[in-house]
Amino acid sequence: MSVPSTNQESRYSPLRGASRRDDALLVIARTGAVKNESFDAAVARANLYREAGVDLLMLMPAADKQWGEAPRRAGAALRH
C-alpha cells in the first residue's frame, strides 16, 4: 500500500532548514513510488520532499532512461 504524498511531505516539513543550522544533520527521503505507482509519481514525490527541505533524495529509478531523467525532473544532482 502506498502512503499519500501529502502525508509523506508532512513528515519532512518540520525539518525544513534544520540541516542548514546543523552541519551534522542530513535529512534523507526515499520513495518507492517507481515500483508501487509510476516514475512520474516518484518524481512528484521527490519534488515535494525537496521543497519540504530534504537534503538527499532516493528515487530508485527502474530503467536506464529514468536514471538519466531523474536529476533533471527532480531538480537535483545525480549521485549513485
Distance CA 59, CA 71 (A): 10
pLDDT of residue 40: 92
Q: Looking at residue 61, what is its pLDDT?
A: 87
Over residues 15-38, the mean pLDDT reads 77
For residue range 32-75, what is the model confidence (pLDDT) as tens digits?
888 889 999 999 888 888 888 788 888 888 899 998 888 888 87
| Of 8-12, 28-32, 60-64, the least confident | 8-12
Give 20's contacts (C-beta < 8 A, 6+ positions apart): none
* Domain locations in the chain as residue ranges: 5-74
As a whole number of angstroms, the distance between CA 80 and CA 66 comes to: 13
